[in-house]
């Protein structure tokens, strides 16, 4: 009984094979331990049962106990509703249902005693409760009067009578056979330092909280523990790697860097750019390998920072490379950077999938001899045929297109791992970055170069197109270019593509005098590149596209971004798309086009977009609206992310505390070998190992 993860849920009284299978399949609950950690998603105060006489029309949710007297159906078709009289010793109140009428009538029988839960409303001069929650009176559970837990269940479970209350009952049975005093999963010193309650107490109170205060303490303990182990795991891994991996020491700031700074830089660096360069300089000078995530909103000048960091490498006798997610981006980087480097005479090359064989061979040779100092490219850089004389610094642009695995392939190019700078314009809130990229240090450029005009964002309904087209025409007449973006979401690709093509046709009809190009992800790469190029070169006035243009394309002359069906985009995607304009000196606009039917969430998203240009603010809001699981980049981060109790968006302070304490523990005992910390190493091993497969054991 000491290891509850070894007890199959099937053998718990009241469960059995059928229910066990449901719990396995629907909730991933296999063991006693899994069940204890199945945390309610909400609680409702049921400590008080009202009498019907006491009820008024101004109460919140209340609990009543009594009997259903009789049912009555009224109205026809869509107006059909079911009413019933509910009575206790003090009076009656009306119940109303507009849906599930047949089910209700069959399920709840007149004459039986039920507890009922709902919000009374005054309708005319009569009180009623619409769609109340009804439970059979269960003496065992209802004898417990306090905060009632609610557990998430699935449709399938409910159709087999495995609802929230049934789960509560199973858990109550479990607590009768396991001791309240469960083995501790945290060392005494950590418990004292974090001021948390004991595990057994927390796990009991999370299911049967005697008071709101004890519930809070239970939640705190479990959240802390979850985040603590997450951080302990990340920090231990990071530290081990740091000890193991020496980096190339860049000891000097040399001629290239200094000449570039003095002679080539057409503007003053922003304060944020200077700060980040100092952070990088400290890292690469330390003798340890740098792994740094550089976050900065679109247009904040990350590329320039990357270039100057690459020059540090060149000054120290190393080569550097920059990897971009698409050919267009790589080419753009190559063009800007080689232009800026021209006065220095540093050899820089471009390598992509479409580099000609002869040229490619020349580049390969130049890389091996060390003559090529800086290489810009796409995934093509990862190929085994690409070898360097002395690769010391790697820049990866737009993190979310590269997984951890791809990153590590670069390590192998030079025996020792080069320093790595990952740049991303998808701003990630600090708390999330700490968890996702625990092994990366984070730098932030939180300042835009001076003189930028913020993009003006407006919301238009789709019946206001005439006005919109007139505005577009005025911009084109002034020599500007326009993006029009349509959503392309995988599930309905065919329909979406039709929308896009339809849009393309329509735009060409409305603007017969202008050149319109079209780009989408289903095109052959070469065809796509060619269409993009027509826009980049200025030949096309309007580009109709899907979100393929989200990342990185730089056309400073484009001043209008129209986003069709804006309700179908997430916040960070909208922000990324908007970042494609506002890159030149002219005032730019982003127009969000939606239908009139908007959900509450969509309204909020649109409102945030029209109110702020600050990527971090948007990212925070996004995290609040969607939760971290949906954040872009999380899937590829390589870190398991199913938190059971804690919420990265809301529990930032606990996360910070957990990280601090995990750091302290590792400072004192890096390998977790002292007897006190034995519990930590054992638990880490268990948590980050796969679940036990009971079907194979029994
Ligand atoms: P990011 O990669 O962060 O989106 P870029 O590095 O492409 O941003 O910079 C956007 C534009 O701003 C470029 O044209 C660049 O030359 C310019 N820029 C960068 N830093 C500064 C600065 N400190 N002052 C003025 N312009 C700058
Ligand atoms: Mg960029």
Dmax over CA atoms of the chain, in Å, equals 95
pLDDT computed for residue 691 by the predictor:
37
Range ranked top by mean pLDDT from 362-366, 381-385, 427-431, 638-642: 362-366
pLDDT tens, residue by residue, 336-361: 899 899 999 999 999 998 899 999 99
Q: How far is the CA of 277 from the centre of ligand 2 (A)?
A: 16
Range ranked top by mean pLDDT from 225-234, 241-250, 494-503, 640-649: 225-234
pLDDT tens, residue by residue, 108-129: 999 898 988 888 988 888 889 9
- Choice between 298 and 389, residue whose per-residue pLDDT is larger: 389
What does the alpha-carbon distance between residue 280 and residue 292 come to, in Å, rounded to a whole number? 8
Q: How far is the CA of 583 from the centre of ligand 1 (A)?
A: 9
Q: What are phi and psi of 688, to 5 degrees?
A: -105, 20
pLDDT tens, residue by residue, 523-573: 887 888 888 889 999 999 999 998 766 555 678 899 999 999 999 888 878
* Mean pLDDT value of segment 192-205: 96
How many other CB atoms are there within 10 angstroms of residue 91's CB atom? 14
pLDDT tens, residue by residue, 477-535: 999 999 999 887 554 566 667 788 888 999 999 999 999 999 887 788 788 888 888 99
Q: What are phi and psi of 584, to 5 degrees?
A: -110, -165
What does the alpha-carbon distance between residue 402 and residue 563 come to, in Å, rounded to a whole number? 26
What does the alpha-carbon distance between residue 476 and residue 455 come to, in Å, rounded to a whole number? 17
Q: Which of 580, 573, 539 is nearest to 329 (CA)?
A: 580
CA distances from 253 to 259, 313, 372, 417, 669 (A): 11, 9, 20, 21, 37
* Mean pLDDT value of segment 286-299: 84
Q: How far is the CA of 327 from the centre of ligand 2 (A)?
A: 14
Are 649 and 628 a contacting pair, CB within 8 Å?
yes
- pTM here is 0.61
Which residue out of 294, 303, 423, 558 has the highest number of ligand 1 atoms within 8 Å of its CB and is therefore the one to mutate?
Answer: 303
Q: How far is the CA of 17 from the centre of ligand 2 (A)?
A: 56
Which residue out of 328, 449, 450, 581 has the highest number of ligand 1 atoms within 8 Å of its CB and is therefore the one to mutate?
Answer: 449
pLDDT tens, residue by residue, 445-479: 888 888 778 899 999 998 888 999 999 999 999 99
* Torsion region of 608: left, alpha or beta (phi above 0 gives left; psi -120 to 50 gives alpha): alpha
Return the ligand 1 atom nearest residue 397 CA. 2
**Residue 629 pLDDT > 60, yes or no?**
no
Residues with CB under 6 A from ligand 1: 267, 269-270, 273, 296, 298-304, 425, 449
Q: How far is the CA of 601 from the centre of ligand 2 (A)?
A: 30
**Residue 85 pLDDT > 60, yes or no?**
yes
pLDDT computed for residue 245 by the predictor:
66
What does the alpha-carbon distance between residue 405 and residue 469 come to, in Å, rounded to a whole number? 46
Name which residue sits closest to atom 26 of ligand 1, judged by CA: 449
**Residue 408 pLDDT > 90, yes or no?**
no
Q: Which position has the token pair 């969430």?
A: 601
**Residue 205 pLDDT > 90, yes or no?**
yes
Kindly state the tokens that stand for 46: 């049921």
pLDDT computed for residue 641 by the predictor:
47
- Choice between 430 and 167, residue whose per-residue pLDDT is larger: 167
Kindly state the tokens that stand for 260: 């570039």
Name which residue sits closest to atom 22 of ligand 1, judged by CA: 449
CA distances from 339 to 254, 331, 446, 533 (A): 20, 12, 26, 19
**Residue 418 pLDDT > 90, yes or no?**
no
Q: What is the mean pLDDT of the chain?
A: 85
Strand order in the sheet with 319-323: 348-351, 374-377, 319-323, 391-397, 419-424, 291-296, 441-445
Collapsing DSSP to helix, strand or coil, 556 comes out as: coil
What does the alpha-carbon distance between residue 615 and residue 634 come to, in Å, rounded to a whole number? 18
* Mean pLDDT value of segment 21-49: 89
Name which residue sits closest to atom 23 of ligand 1, judged by CA: 269
What does the alpha-carbon distance between residue 399 and residue 422 come to, in Å, rounded to a whole number? 6
Q: Which position has the token pair 């913020």?
A: 454
**Residue 639 pLDDT > 50, yes or no?**
no
Q: Which of 165, 233, 226 is nearest to 199 (CA)?
A: 226
Name which residue sits closest to atom 15 of ligand 1, judged by CA: 301
**Residue 631 pLDDT > 50, yes or no?**
no
What does the alpha-carbon distance between residue 95 and residue 87 come to, in Å, rounded to a whole number? 10
pLDDT computed for residue 626 by the predictor:
67
Q: Which residues contact 599 (CB under 8 A, 6 or more apart)?
A: 567
Which residue out of 299, 399, 421, 578 has the highest number of ligand 1 atoms within 8 Å of its CB and is therefore the one to mutate?
Answer: 299
């Amino acid at each position: 009984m000491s290891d509850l993860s070894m007890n199959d849920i099937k053998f718990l009284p009241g469960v059995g094979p059928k229910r066990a299978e449901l719990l396995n399949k629907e909730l991933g609950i296999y063991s006693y331990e899994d069940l204890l950690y199945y945390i309610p998603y909400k609680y409702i105060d049921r400590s008080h049962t009202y009498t019907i006489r006491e009820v008024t029309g101004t109460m919140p949710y209340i609990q009543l106990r009594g009997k259903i007297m009789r049912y009555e159906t009224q109205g026809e078709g869509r107006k059909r509703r079911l009413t019933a009289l509910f009575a206790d010793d003090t009076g009656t109140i009306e119940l109303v249902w507009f849906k599930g009428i047949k089910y209700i009538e069959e399920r709840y029988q007149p004459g039986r005693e039920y507890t009922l839960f709902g919000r009374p409303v005054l309708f005319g001069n009569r009180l009623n409760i619409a769609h109340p929650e009804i439970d059979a009176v269960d003496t065992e559970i209802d004898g417990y009067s306090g905060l009632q837990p609610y557990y998430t269940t699935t449709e399938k479970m409910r159709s087999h009578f495995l609802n929230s209350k049934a789960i509560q009952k199973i858990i109550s049975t479990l607590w009768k056979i396991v001791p309240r005093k469960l083995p501790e999963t945290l060392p005494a010193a950590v418990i004292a330092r974090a001021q948390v309650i004991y595990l057994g107490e927390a796990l009991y109170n999370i299911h049967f909280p005697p008071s709101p205060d004890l519930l809070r303490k239970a939640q705190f303990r479990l959240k802390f523990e979850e985040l603590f182990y997450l951080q302990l795991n990340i920090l231990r891994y990071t530290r081990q790697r740091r000890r193991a991996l020496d980096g190339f020491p860049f000891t000097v700031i040399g001629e290239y860097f200094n000449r570039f700074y003095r002679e080539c830089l057409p503007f003053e660096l922003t304060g944020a750019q200077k700060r980040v360069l100092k952070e990088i300089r400290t890292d690469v000078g330390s003798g340890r390998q740098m792994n740094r995530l550089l976050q900065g909103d679109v247009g904040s000048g990350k590329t320039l920072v990357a270039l100057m960091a690459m020059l540090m490498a060149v000054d120290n006798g190393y080569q550097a490379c920059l990897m971009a997610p698409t050919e267009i981006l790589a080419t753009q980087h190559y063009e800007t950077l080689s232009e800026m480097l021209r006065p220095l005479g540093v050899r820089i090359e471009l390598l992509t999938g479409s580099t000609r064989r002869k040229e490619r061979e020349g580049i390969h040779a130049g890389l091996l001899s060390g003559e090529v100092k800086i290489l810009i490219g796409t995934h093509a850089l990862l190929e085994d045929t690409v070898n360097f004389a002395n690769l010391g610094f790697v820049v990866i642009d737009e993190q979310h297109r590269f997984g951890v695995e791809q990153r590590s392939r670069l390590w192998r190019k030079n025996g020792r791992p080069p320093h790595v700078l990952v740049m991303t314009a998808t701003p990630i809130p600090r708390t999330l970055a700490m968890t996702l990229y625990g092994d990366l240090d984070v730098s932030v450029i939180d300042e835009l170069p001076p003189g930028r005009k913020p993009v003006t964002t407006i919301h238009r309904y789709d019946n206001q197109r005439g006005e919109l087209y007139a505005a577009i025409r005025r911009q084109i007449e002034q020599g500007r270019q326009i993006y029009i973006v349509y959503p392309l979401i995988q599930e309905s690709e065919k329909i979406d593509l039709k929308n896009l093509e339809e849009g393309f046709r329509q735009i060409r009809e409305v603007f017969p005098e202008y050149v319109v190009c079209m780009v989408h992800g289903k095109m052959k790469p070469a065809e796509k590149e060619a269409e993009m190029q027509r826009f980049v070169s200025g030949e096309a006035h309007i580009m109709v596209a899907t979100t393929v243009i989200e990342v990185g394309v730089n056309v400073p002359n484009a001043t209008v971004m129209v986003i069709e069906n804006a309700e179908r985009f997430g916040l960070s995607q909208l922000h990324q798309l908007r970042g494609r304009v506002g890159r030149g000196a002219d005032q730019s606009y982003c127009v969000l086009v939606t239908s009139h039917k908007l959900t509450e969430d969509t309204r909020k998203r649109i409102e945030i977009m029209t109110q702020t240009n600050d990527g971090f603010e948007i990212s925070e809001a996004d995290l609040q609206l969607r939760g971290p699981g949906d954040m872009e980049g999380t899937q590829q981060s390589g870190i398991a992310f199913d938190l059971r109790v804690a919420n990265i968006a809301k529990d930032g302070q606990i996360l910070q505390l957990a990280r601090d304490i995990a750091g302290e523990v590792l400072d004192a005992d890096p390998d977790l070998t002292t007897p006190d910390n034995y519990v930590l190493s054992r638990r880490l091993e268990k948590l980050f190992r796969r679940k036990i497969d009971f079907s194979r054991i029994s």
